[in-house]
Each structure stands twice: as C-alpha cells, then as structure tokens.
Structure 1
C-alpha cells in the first residue's frame, strides 16, 4: 500500500480570538499548495483516497489538488499516529491513501513506520512524504518512495 503524507502549506499565525482550526494559508502557502498539488496530480494513481483534517489550512491545501477528498476529525491537530494509520488502513488498504494533516502527527507517523528511534521527524510545511508498505522474505517493510518540498518543485 502507498501512504502519502502531505503537511499543510504555510499558514497565518493566530490573531485575536482566531482558533487554531481557523488559521488560513498565507500567500506563500497558497503558492506552496499549488506547486505541490500540480506535482501530486501528475503522480497520484487513479483511485487514490484523499483524507484531510478539517482545519481551514489543510482544506485550503488539499483544494489546490482539485480532486475529491473527505474531511476526518481523526486528523485534526493533536491526532495520534494510531488514529492516522487506522483511518488509512495501513498497511493493508487496496488503494493508495493521501492524507493532508499536521505536525507533529505526520512526523510521529513517519518515525514509527521507518523505525527511526526518535519520537518524530521534521516535516516541512507543504512537503510530501510518500511511503510504501511491502513484504520481503515474509517481513513487512516500509520503503520511502520520495520526499518532496514545494520549494524544490
């Protein structure tokens, strides 16, 4: 199975009585999301399930892709890697899954799947980590297919 983790693009800092869930993308964030969406649109297989946190900044990020997606409360800020992996169906889902979410959840999930020995790894705003589960010699493995940042596209 392919699990593609996309961190939301750059967002505004909270102002006034704005909640974390209401934070919108900056102009730079809009550009990051558009660049990454264009790349993803060329790479994603047909039938990819797209799941997104209900936060404004994540939904704005995924909308740049112009594909159908579903919002899931299990992906809100503060979600656990267990929630993310269960929702994705890791490692047995039949179709690839793209998840648009937040740090530290994405970094914690990557660290766990790659057995990095650290609680989390850093994921840049707007970046994509594409992971693949496979079986080799009866062992389940996680392979890094690619890591992309919007700035390098």
Structure 2
C-alpha cells in the first residue's frame, strides 16, 4: 500500500480554526504541489481530506475527487488516520491531506513504531510504501518533497 501524507499549505491565523483559509502563498504552494502530485498519483488513488477549509483549499487544485473525512479534523490522533485509510491493507494508493502534529506523528509511528512529534513542513508531502500488508519490514519512505523543491 502507498500512503501519502500531505500537510495543508500556509493558512491565515484566524478563528474559528476550521474556517481558516489559505494565504496567497498557501494557494501558490498548493498549486505547485498539486501539479507535481498530479503527475505522480495513479488513477485509482483515493484522497481523504480533513473538513478544515485550508485542507480543502489545498487539495482542490489537484482536480480529482476527494472525500471529506471528519476523523481527520484538527486534533485527530495518528491511529484515527491509519484506521480511516485502512492502513496497511488498502489495495489502492491513499492520499491524506491533514494537519500537524498528527501527520508528523503518523510518519514517526510508521518509521519508528512510536508517535513522536515530528515536523512536516506546510504543503510538504511524505510518501510511504509498504509492499506487503503483513510485513512491517517491507515499509519504506519513497519521497519527501516540499513545494520549494519542485522545479518547473
């Protein structure tokens, strides 16, 4: 199974939290990353997005169908994300657009077995692959990319 974690792009500081919108820089980050992901994702990729406005605005430029998953809202735990995407048993590639610190905790949990508070930069993507669902030793980190690394 391929699991891709995409942190939302830069958002304004405002209240209520779920209504925070992307900044102009955030829209640019989202477009850049969406363009790159659009060339990398398989056709059958399932996309799950937090109900927060900033995550929906982050994923929209990709131009694919996505599902808003309340279980991915700010404050969710790493196991909430893994259960939602059926890790590691899903047959298709899954993209999750979410928040810190949860995405960093998922990354740490997958790579170390513990949900440490690892930082994932805004608009960055971490791409994991586990070749065999029942074999944690078949897990590897395929890519970590930020919008700044994407060259046009």
Report the TM-score when normalising by structure 2: 0.94
Q: CA RMSD in A?
A: 1.5
Query: Does the CA-based 8 Å contact 1:110-1:120 persist in structure 2?
Result: no
- 1:110 maps to what in 2? 107
- Structure 1 runs (4+) deviating above 4 angstroms are none
Q: How many residue pairs align between the two structures? A: 149
* Kept after mapping to 1: 8 A contact 2:3/2:128: yes
Structure with greater helix percent: 2
- Residue by residue over 1:7-57, the C-alpha shift from the partner in whole angstroms, topping out at 9 and shown as x without a partner, is 00000011xxx2010100000000000000000000001100000000000
Structure 2 residue 61 is matched with structure 1 residue 69 = no
Matching residue of 2:37: 40
Distance of 2:87 and 2:128 partners within structure 1: 11
The one-character-per-residue Cα deviations of 1:60-85 (angstroms, maximum 9, x if unpaired) are 00001110001010000010111100
Residue 91 of structure 1 pairs with residue 73 of structure 2: no
Tell me the equivalent position of 1:50: 47
Shift of 1:118: 6.5
CA distance in 2, matches of 1:33, 1:134: 29
**Partner of residue 120, structure 1:** 117
Ranges in structure 2 where 5+ consecutive residues have no aligned partner: none
- Using the TM superposition, give the Cα deviation of residue 134 of structure 1 relative to its aligned residue in structure 2, in angstroms: 2.3
Confirm or deny that 1:4 pairs with 2:4: yes
Which one of the candidate residues 129, 134, 147 is aligned to 1:132? 129
Cα distance in 1 between the residues matched to 2:96 and 2:23? 21
